[in-house]
Amino acid sequence: MFGSATKKSLGKGEIQRGDRVLQLATQIGMIQGGAEDIIRTNDNNTDHAQEELRKILKEHNYNMIEDLLSDLEKMLPPDQKKHYQDMIDEYKKWTDETKRFSS
């Protein structure tokens, strides 16, 4: 990987380390490219899912998911409503923790 002029001035161990650095740099570039592809695919899937959700909400005379959730929550019996609210609270705690660590 190194030119012959460079190889003459470096020892075998240095050349091996240099070759390994180039190999790692290539691998990191490939990993980054794969991650970018995954992010792009995820964004496309998210956009598609949001569009489908908007269509479904509109078919049922809802403008926002919050309106649907509010109406559904009103239909729950008290014991299920408490369980539902506990799940929402737990989700909020989890997302708050995730945001804290990703900042």
Query: Measured between alpha carbons, how far is 40 from 45 in angstroms, rounded to an integer?
Result: 9
Alpha carbon 50 to chain centroid distance?
16
Percent of the chain with pLDDT over 70: 88
Domain ranges of the chain: 1-61, 63-103
pLDDT value at 1 more than 80: no
pLDDT of res. 48? 96
Query: Measured between alpha carbons, how far is 13 from 2 in angstroms, rounded to an integer?
Result: 13
Q: What is the pLDDT of residues 38-80, one digit of tens each?
A: 999 999 999 999 999 999 999 999 999 999 999 999 999 999 9
